[in-house]
Chain A
């Protein structure tokens, strides 16, 4: 059973459009992380959300942690080609005593 379900799997949009990707689970997490991975590189941490209902902004990226701490979303405003990549969410099983488990990711392509 996949701990973290990410949707959509693939997304192709035009430059300037807005988009939202989702990370869902039936489990409750103490925190959740988002990473972006570009081709040929390792994932790079974007943000960690800790509190239920928390909203964090990173320039045009807005991250939200669900009130029940079971899900999270990433919203990108006015997408640019540089946003292209694989977006991964990750969380710990068992209240943080084990390493991160990753979702399968959303592959985003922003076309100029």
Chain B
């Protein structure tokens, strides 16, 4: 039972480059989320999805785009990476909206130079 799988685990980008982070879950969860974690800032929500084909903005959406074409996958894109996007990115999923625990992936450590 894999749970939530994130790829890649590590990546170094040059300023201005683009990339896509992939999140896949095998628990048939309806809800999926992208957070970033920075020292002193905690986990902050970037975008989320309440079902296949839907996306919504979180607390820090600027510079990111997302897509949820299949229920099990949630993609996070950086069109033109900036050093401020250096962070650890976590994907999570949940069965329901309220009072359900989130299952997190193990993260993608991204460095933008």
Contacts and interface: CB of A to CB of B under 8 A. Distances in A.
Interface of A: 30-31, 33, 35, 40-45, 48, 50, 88, 90, 92, 96-97, 99-105
Contacts of B74: none
A45 B97 contact: no
Contact of B42 (A50, A99, A103): A103
Given A30-B99, A42-B90, A97-B97, A102 B42 contact: yes
B22 interface: no
A42 B107 contact: yes
B41 interface: yes
B101 A104 contact: no
A9 to B, nearest CB: 9
Of listed A44, A99, A100, A103, residue having the most chain B CB within 10 A: A99
Contacts of A101: 45
Say which size band chain B's interface belongs to.
20 to 34
17 contacts: A31-B98, A35-B102, A41-B106, A42-B92, A42-B104, A42-B107, A43-B90, A45-B101, A45-B103, A48-B101, A92-B98, A96-B97, A99-B31, A99-B58, A100-B33, A100-B102, A102-B42
B105 A42 contact: yes
A105 B43 CA distance: 9
Contacts of A99: 31, 33, 45, 48, 58
Nearest to A33: B101
Nearest to B105: A42
Contacts of A43: 43, 90, 102, 104
Contacts of B90: 42-43
